[in-house]
Amino acid sequence: MEETRKIYSVAELNRAARFTLENGIGEVWVEGEISRLTRQSSGHWYFTLKDEAAAVSCAMFKQNNAAATFEPKDGLKVRVLAQASLYEPRGSYQLIVRKMEEAGKGSLQEQFEKLKAKLSAEGLFDASRKKPLPLLPQKIGVVTSPTGAAIRDIINVLTRRFPNIEILLAPVTVQGEGAAEKIAAAIDYLNTYNRKVGQASSLSTESEKFFTPWLPVDIEKRHLPHWNQDNASYFVTFRLADSLPHEKLQLWQQERIQWLKSHDEPYSKNELTEYSKLFSERINQWLDVGSGSCLLAEKQNASVVEAAMQHFDGNRYRLGSYVIMANHVHVLVSPLPGNNLADILHSWKSFTANRINEQTGRRGAVWQDESYDHIVRSPEQLSFYNDYIRKNLNQSKETAVARIDRLEACPTLPIDLIIVGRGGGSIEDLWAFNEEVVARAIAASRIPVISAVGHEIDFTISDFVADVRAPTPSAAAELAVPVKAELEMQIVRLAARLGGSLQNQVHILRERIPGFRQTMVHALTDGLRLRQQKVDETSRTLAECLKNAVTIQKQRLPGLQQTMDHRMESAVAERKQNLRRLESQLRALSPLAVLDRGYSLTQTEDGTVVRDIAQIRAGGTVRTRLAKGTFISEVKKKEA
């Protein structure tokens, strides 16, 4: 006999669950901390109520929240009178809140206020310790997530406002366990980077190139993803064709595809660790066992590979550390401009395959077609891969061929400014920027710091400690650099003003030249007049003196009158002669004296003095002045 079964539709099941919740639990008081509060334009509130162990979604509709006597916000501890229910379309369990009472501030808010008061008392918020932002930074360090919206916004704004600004990203996780310590370490690293600039003479003269998130990337996906970017450095592993069993590779590839389907990006730290253990570490373990023909264990074959890699070093690429194991090769390489990694690897494999087959008398493929390559993202990763290659060398000293280059990144420009921040989120999401370790790292930074955490309404401890607080990451980028085009226009305007000012000065000086000339003429005329007056005054003075002397002599020496008369006549005659000589000199200086010597002064009809025959015309008239009189002549003919 066929069993009779009750079959529910999804809607019926959700309706039944809602009925059970609403009637089985009913209306209850619940205490917890508000998180993720949103206020809809309809007036309804939606938030999460949580404690240390659990969380539940809540809805408080407009007709109920209008009676609230306080302003709820994230981190606030409250008691709510609510109906347990279920939102049928999604099957999500929730509380419908009818009444809300303040139960005291939540623990996170209390921690925030406590740390804020502590750091304020230490003077970390004082305006006197704030460093001014540089007027025109050349290099900006950014501490944020490499995959979040914040870094994209910062890069877009910085490059739009000042296209040739140099940006150095210190990638960190911005929320979750350990995020605060990583943010603080990144700030310390950027300050250490500046110390490296000062010590650059002791480092490599040619700096390593690292992955730059804001520059174009060509991603090629085969069995493995391959990221190609100009001026990047790579850690590459390429292996012999028989180094891994084919059936194992197929099995791992199927497992990898299934794992990727069951995990959504972005992957958590634990997921990345799991992926590495399941696939990367498993493949490395098989390679280290030394399966397959292990052709590279023979020194002559390994030497062929080493010679091939070294052949174009410095010409097509910079070759870093490498180790040649029995069945695979690890190498650090930086393609030079105009060369790409795929072509470099192809040339290595093609050349060495032919030579190894010749030396061993074998035929067939030597190398696996696809290689594993990873862009080096930071000096720390460069150091890690150097250590990894060294570790492989130590494990296989008898057979391995290697070169270890401990290269350092050689920075050229110091970092002028640091932007620390992330996009918006709940108080829990932003909490890393409320940790004391981040606050003290910002306070200890010798480089000015802009804090840009969340949205305009969000405030964190890092905002108070930083030299400048920006409401958003985009606003931080706007504060960091001026608009280059505006600066260029300002330079053009200033140059135009300077040129105009110089022209005005030249014009003013030119206008003063006639005045200077007239002043000089007046000075000479006044000088002559003054000298004439002095001559006249001297003559009068001499005459007066002589008269007085005669009178005195007459009075004192009546008996010598006759002698004195004689002498007086002589003196007067001498003075007259002098006067005639002075008069002759004055007449010689007079322009009219030239006319007395038989010269004349000829002028054109408009009064211009004639100095050149070209100034007069046949048939015209000229005016001629003589010492005594003037006459007008008609020009009959000109002769040169």
- The pLDDT tens digits of the residues spanning 404-420 come to 554 344 445 789 999 99
Mean local confidence (pLDDT), 59-85 = 89
Is a pLDDT exceeding 90 seen at residue 488? no
CATH class of the domain comprising 218-243+290-403: alpha beta
Sheet of 630-634, strand order: 601-603, 621-625, 630-634
- Residue 419: what pLDDT? 96
Is a pLDDT exceeding 90 seen at residue 201? no
Three-class DSSP category at 199:
coil
Share of the chain above pLDDT 70, in %: 84
Nearest-5° Cα angle at 419, 418 to 425: 155
The architecture of the domain spanning 10-105 is: Beta Barrel (2.40)
Is a pLDDT exceeding 50 seen at residue 206? no
Is a pLDDT exceeding 90 seen at residue 445? yes
Residue whose pair of structure tokens reads 């940790």 in the numeric block: 435
- Residue 411: what pLDDT? 47
Work out the pLDDT band at 618, boundaries 50, 70, 90: confident
- Residue 255: what pLDDT? 78
588 or 185: whose pLDDT is higher?
A: 185
Residue whose pair of structure tokens reads 């407009």 in the numeric block: 62
Whole-angstrom CA distances from 418 to 189, 209, 396, 462 are 11, 21, 44, 13
- Residue 203: what pLDDT? 32
Phi-psi group of 45: left, alpha or beta (phi > 0 → left; psi -120 to 50 → alpha; rest → beta): beta
Lowest mean pLDDT among 100-114, 191-205, 496-510: 191-205
Mean local confidence (pLDDT), 487-515 = 86
Kindly state the DSSP code that residue 320 receives in the 8-state scheme.
E
The distance from CA 296 to its chain's CA centroid, rounded to whole angstroms, is: 49
Dist. CA 392–CA 398, nearest whole Å: 12
Q: Does domain 112-203+411-482 have CATH number 2.40.30.10?
A: no
What are 138's two structure tokens?
């050349």
Work out the pLDDT band at 267, boundaries 50, 70, 90: low
Mean local confidence (pLDDT), 65-79 = 86
Is a pLDDT exceeding 60 seen at residue 208? no
* Pairing outcome for strands 55-60 and 45-50: antiparallel
Mean local confidence (pLDDT), 59-83 = 89
Residue whose pair of structure tokens reads 């305007």 in the numeric block: 493
Kindly state the DSSP code that residue 614 receives in the 8-state scheme.
G
SS in 3 state form for 494-551?
HHHHHHHHHHHHHHHHHHHHHHHHHHHHHHHHHHHHHHHHHHHHHHHHHHHHHHHHHH
- Residue 197: what pLDDT? 62
The distance from CA 341 to its chain's CA centroid, rounded to whole angstroms, is: 30
- Residue 1: what pLDDT? 46
Work out the pLDDT band at 194, boundaries 50, 70, 90: confident
Is a pLDDT exceeding 60 seen at residue 50? yes
Is a pLDDT exceeding 50 seen at residue 233? yes
Kindly state the DSSP code that residue 68 receives in the 8-state scheme.
-
Q: Are 427 and 35 a contacting pair, CB within 8 Å?
A: yes
pLDDT digits (tens, 9 = 90+) for 367-395: 988 788 888 887 778 888 888 888 877 77
- Residue 410: what pLDDT? 42
Which positions ≥6 away from 214 have C-beta within 8 Å? Answer: 151, 155, 159, 167
- Residue 254: what pLDDT? 76
Mean local confidence (pLDDT), 24-29 = 88
Three-class DSSP category at 29:
strand
* Pairing outcome for strands 92-105 and 55-60: parallel
In this structure, how many other beta carbons lie within 10 angstroms of the beta carbon of residue 356? 21
Residue whose pair of structure tokens reads 């605060």 in the numeric block: 180
Is a pLDDT exceeding 70 seen at residue 440? yes
Share of the chain above pLDDT 90, in %: 28
In this structure, how many other beta carbons lie within 10 angstroms of the beta carbon of residue 198? 10
Q: Are 568 and 546 a contacting pair, CB within 8 Å?
A: yes
Residue whose pair of structure tokens reads 């003479």 in the numeric block: 201
Phi, psi of 332 (to 5 degrees): -105, 130
Whole-angstrom CA distances from 449 to 431, 470, 476 are 19, 10, 10
Phi, psi of 217 (to 5 degrees): -130, 130
Determine which helix (DSSP H) or strand (DSSP E) holds 283, and give its type and residue range. helix 281-289
pLDDT digits (tens, 9 = 90+) for 132-167: 999 889 899 999 998 888 999 999 999 899 988 888
Determine which helix (DSSP H) or strand (DSSP E) holds 395, and give its type and residue range. helix 379-395
Phi-psi group of 607: left, alpha or beta (phi > 0 → left; psi -120 to 50 → alpha; rest → beta): left
User: What is the C-alpha end-to-end distance of the chain, expressed in Å?
Assistant: 150
* Pairing outcome for strands 417-422 and 449-453: parallel
Is a pLDDT exceeding 90 seen at residue 291? no
Average pLDDT across the chain, whole number: 83
What are 174's two structure tokens?
């911005």
pLDDT digits (tens, 9 = 90+) for 523-564: 888 888 888 888 888 888 888 888 887 777 667 766 666 777
- Residue 246: what pLDDT? 67
Which positions ≥6 away from 522 have C-beta within 8 Å? Answer: none
Q: Which of 256, 249, 234 is nearest to 283 (CA)?
A: 249
Q: Which of 637, 157, 150 is nearest to 420 (CA)?
A: 150
Q: Are 529 and 536 a contacting pair, CB within 8 Å?
A: no
Q: Are 465 and 119 a contacting pair, CB within 8 Å?
A: yes
- Residue 434: what pLDDT? 94
Mean local confidence (pLDDT), 117-144 = 92
